[in-house]
Structure 1
Amino acid sequence: MAATQPLQDMLNRLHDRLAAVEAKLGVAPRSPRAASAVAPAPVPVQVAPRIEAYDEFTQTYLTPFLTAAAKLGPEVEKYGEIVKRAFVAQRMYLVAASVSKKPAGPVMVLLAPIQECMKEINKLRDNRSEFAHHQNMLNEGIQSLGWLCVEPAPKPFIESYIGGGDFWGNKIRVQYKTSNPDQIEFVASFKTLLVQLMAYVKEHHTTGVTWNAQGGDVANFSSVASAPAAPVAEAAPKPAAPAAVGGMNAIFAGIKSIDQSGGKTSGLRTVTKDQQTWRKEYKGSDAPTPAPVKAVAPKPVHAAAPAPAQDPICEIRNGNWFVAHQKDIFTLSDVNLKQQVYIFNCNQATLIIEGKAKTIALDKCTKTKLIFDSAVSSIEIVNCKNVQVQSKGKVPAVAIDKTDGCLVYLSYEGRDVQFVTSKSSEMNVAFPQAEGSEEYIERPIPEQFVHRITDNDTISSDVSDLYSH
């Protein structure tokens, strides 16, 4: 016992020192046993200036939006919390970039929480709700966070969603212009949030997310230091506690298997409605008359149940890429110039193609954004609605057919592209004004022409005066 006393004294002194350090740091004291069970705290990540700027941005513009959402009641406050989670996840992605080297593509583990928020907002949309316009505005605006995957011009990407969100915001303004200023504040604060996000991106991430060339592997960051918390799995239903022996539990145990008739009802058939002679329609007659059978009209074709959602597809068929039914941020890597890429029936997706493809076709897509490096031959946009296409390099030709709403972003070196359009509307092209410029000029692609018969018995076609300004 005496031999162990010096060791005990040393441990006591060490414990006292730890207690003093904890007191200075403001950490609540804990028992030595509990302290030994706690894992060592992770090394804090150094905050880069652009992250400090992001925190200042959210404090200045996200907080007023959340306050405005709370004023409209618990339903809209719930929408605000989803937006808040999306911006927190966006910060996590930017923090990872500030301490990591640039990876080959977007880090889907860090993008997953943002995608979940987008899905959650989209699922809440209900045209019967009194907040239908609010849901649509937030659903449109929150997709601007997809700028994290956009290079080299993320600012126009955000701007396109500001316009879409403002469309629904104007409906709220008209409805509550004179009756509820809190509604107007909600719309204005959300638009300001997106506009200031665009300003932040322009200042700190001009050509895309800024990575740290001296940093570590982003996979280590995403899996250890700052991976988003795993979703809590639904608890499995607890098995019912076994009934106590005796008492009422013993009496009713196994009641479902008891034949209370003592076997007298076994083998008897069920008496249907037309065989129940006590009914009013059978009185005064010796034999029951079968009830008339009502003819059932065939269901109209449009009443059929909607087809189930199809699973996303990405595979090589006959040496070419086939991508279909994508709904989130999706990256296709290792495309070579001998391969064609066919994209079909994607809805509200952001598609990124890395590599130079032979041709690219976008077919039957809605509210989808396509970002690709370059193409050898052309890109075709067919049967689409409200799509955006961005070429980071060169593409010789763009064909637009049977499409309503199409915006094409070009690089400065790709300005010599040739457009071929037919049966399409609301077409626009955006391109840099000068080499290296961050500002894009947007011009409409004419869809209205004036045709005349000439003296040579031919037809002359000129662009309508609508496009002369």
Structure 2
Amino acid sequence: MAELAGLVARLEVAVGRLEGMSLSGGGGGGAASPSGGPVAKFVEEYDDIVSGAVAQYLSLSQKIGGDVQKHADMMKQGFAAVRQILVLASSHQKPSDSAMGTLLQPVSKVVSQVQNFRESNRTSALFNHLSAVSESVGALGWITVAPKPGPYVKEMNDAAMFYTNRVLKDYKEKDKTHTEWVKAYLSIWTEMQNYIKKNHTTGVAWSKTGPVASASAAAAPPPPPSGGCPPPPPPGPPPPAMDLSGGGDSGGDNRNALFASINKGADITKGLKHVSDDQKTHKNPNLRTGGGPVRSGPKPFSSGPKAAAPAQAQTLPPVLELEGKKWKVENQENAQNLVISDTELKQVVYAFKCNKSTLQVKGKLNSITLDNCKKMGLVFDDVVGIVEVINCRDLKIQVMGKVPTISINKTDGCHVYLSKDSLSCEIVSAKSSEMNILVPNKDGEFTEMPVPEQFKTVWDGHKLVTTATEIAG
């Protein structure tokens, strides 16, 4: 069995390399530029990304299959179209704006196809995978960005993380293939940022000599010595504007302006204490082997009467660390002073299996997820994406600034304290009970209102009409 597993692993690597060679046009002897000579060094380095991270992403997408594989096939054409531009740039001067618009049509077409495929498959079981790719496919358009294409790719990559985190959450303990898929896909754009920083810092490095590039120069590139990918479809009329935004809410400047004013009602946080560096597991790995430091202090939330029996010993060590762009808060027990303060807009917080604890998140960040937590309090300033609660019990959430959406799923007992700046927040709930929204009054007190749990549906002769019902009692 061990020999068979090793053989399968070697076969997967070989398939990945073949995918990369097919996409980059590699075939041992190297591809030729439109002028007939060898390609520039920056084209070869682009091919390294294609034969590495991109090939791994394509291989894993094929393994997952279904809509993910179809999406990956589209992305494959997108990377090939970008390579065609780079090969042209290696031997031609920068074209006119009108010619550039025609040259970019294959890339633009892929961007549209990827985004439209996601929109037309919203019921797909792999919708989070499709959304991650769709939100970041605009990164292919870095070849049009100047003078900072690298930060643009980073912004597109950040836009994908909301959905890749959902994939990780859904498949964390189910299927390793999906977690590897996330790592492979995100690594494409991380490597692309490094590549751009080295070769195209202020924009595509067009040749200073040679003819000026035109639409016909890239219409029929010479075939590679072996392998090679099929040419892109014939271009149609130039589009009026190329949409490479990815459709995601990743515009940092707009959000900064939108959330410039934050309500600082700090009474709810007076009982919280900052966690010093010597208590953070990501700065002190030796703490992970024990139970971790725990202080007791004033509680901003009341968790109700204490259980008579003592809590069972933890089977896993507590975690509070930053891993990439994700703050991991896991297995915290009776920790009333958890604070995350060094936040950035691109970061997310994922709290998993925390019990009788309170977490304060300062600053503005992308999203917060509470998963399998009990008797927990959450206080946060601003979230630009979503706060998601799933499989939890007895939670209290305090919004200090703004949040557009709070999603509550499979949860019993959830109290949400809104700020005056978050009254437009959408509360989306499913399969949950004992939910209450507390709205601030002018005197600083809160008015508590229950979220309907029971509904009545009737047929009005044309369609089903559903209304919330209230049961007196």
TM-score by shorter chain over 0.5: no
**Which structure has the higher relative contact order (CA within 8 Å, separation 6+)?**
2
- TM-score in terms of structure 2 length: 0.43
- The alignment's TM-score, normalised by the length of structure 1, stands at 0.43
Larger radius of gyration: 1
